Amino acid sequence: MKERKEWRPLPDTITIKDSKIEGLGVFATQDIPANTDLGISHVYDERFPDNYIRLPLGAFINHHEMPNCKAVVSESHESIGNIKHIRIITEKNILSGEELTLNYIINKLDNPLWEFEYEISQ
């Protein structure tokens, strides 16, 4: 059995605030090195229309054609065990105050292969 840990919707290094891209966005509250795992953005659950439950990180991170983060589909992780999910990883150094972005596909519901396209679009 996994040890119970306190769950936080976002790591201490990021916050949600107004974005110049669209509505609200995810921003660094301190410098974040490249290849930092920011955590889980989506958890697989086939009962939902697009088969994923979107968490705060996934709900507020904005699209950009030249992103500074990537999404990685994972089947398991040491922190949660064997649960399919999507994690967000920084691709370069992020400065405090900078918005975190992904290059993602909009309106995935009509495309049964969206997961594959989501991965390769990163």
52 contacts 43 by C-beta, under 8 angstroms: yes
Domains annotated for the chain, with CATH where assigned, are 14-120 (2.170.270.10)
Q: Which two tokens stand for residue 116?
A: 């594959």
User: Which phi and psi angles does 109 have, rounded to 5°?
Assistant: -60, -30
pLDDT band at 2, cuts 50/70/90? low
Residue of 107, 117, 118, 121 lying closest to 50 (CA atoms): 107
Per-residue pLDDT of 3-17, as tens digits, reads: 556 667 788 899 999
In single-letter form, the type of residue at position 94 comes to I
What's the pLDDT score for residue 113? 52
Q: Give tens-digit pLDDT for 19-52.
A: 999 899 999 999 999 999 999 888 888 898 778 8
pTM of the entire structure? 0.76
